[in-house]
Amino acid sequence: MPDDVNTATESPYLDDEDWQIAFDPYEGNPRAALTLGFHLAELKRLVSDLKKHEAITALDNAIDCLFEHSDFRSAGRELFLNAIEGKLTTDKEEVIRHLGIKI
Render pLDDT for 72-88 as a digit per residue (tens, 0 to 9). 887 888 889 999 888 99
Q: Where are the domains of the chain?
A: 16-99
Question: Where does residue 8 rank: exposed (0-12), middle (13-18), buried (19+ CB within 10 A)?
Answer: exposed
pLDDT of residue 23: 92
10 CB-side CA count, 13 A: 1
pTM for this prediction: 0.55
Percent of the chain with pLDDT over 70: 87
Residues 70 and 37: beta-carbon distance below 8 Å: yes
**CA distance linking residue 46 with residue 44, whole number of Å:** 5
Mean pLDDT of the chain: 83
Query: Would you say the C-alpha torsion 61, 15, 59, 53 has a positive or negative sign?
Result: negative
